[in-house]
Structure 1
């Protein structure tokens, strides 16, 4: 249940960050979104929002790497270990 709450809160925080960037007329990109999320949790005092913000940052980074891998044809980070020979 805690993971469901954190996941929903992370989605909300991503939505808040995107909305703020749109309101400010800032071009939205992976780096800008990640930085906005980092700034959002920098002075946050609510422990749940801090954890959710960290999760949101990780989700954005994971998606960024997935998209980059799709463009370059390289295996995703989580798929690389499956291709290692021991």
Structure 2
């Protein structure tokens, strides 16, 4: 049950981070998203949101590795932090 809550909260935090980047008209990249999530939990006091934020960062990193693996199979040189999501 707790994992479901953390997973939903992580998804919410990713959505909040993406929305903030869009509102600021910042190019959305893996690096920008990860930085935004780190910033979000830096001053957070709610333990549930901190755990969810850490989980969200891990999800983004996992996706970065997965995408990088797919790209490297195609012979592209751009790293995952260089890729734009939007």
Say which one has the larger Rg.
1
Q: TM-score, normalised by structure 1?
A: 0.84
Matched, 1:54 2:54: yes
1:33-72 alignment, distance < 5 Å: 33-72=33-72
Point out where structure 2 has 5 or more consecutive residues left out of the alignment. 75-86
Aligned residues: 74
Q: Deviations over 1:28-76 (max 9, x none)?
A: 00000000000000010000000000000000000001000001129xx
Higher RCO (C-alpha under 8 Å, 6+ residues apart):
2
Q: TM-score, normalised by structure 2?
A: 0.84
**The structure with more helix, counted as a fraction of residues:** 1
Point out where structure 1 has 5 or more consecutive residues left out of the alignment. 75-86
- Runs of 4+ that moved beyond 3 A: none
Q: Determine the C-alpha separation between the residues in 1 that align with 2:71 and 2:21.
A: 25
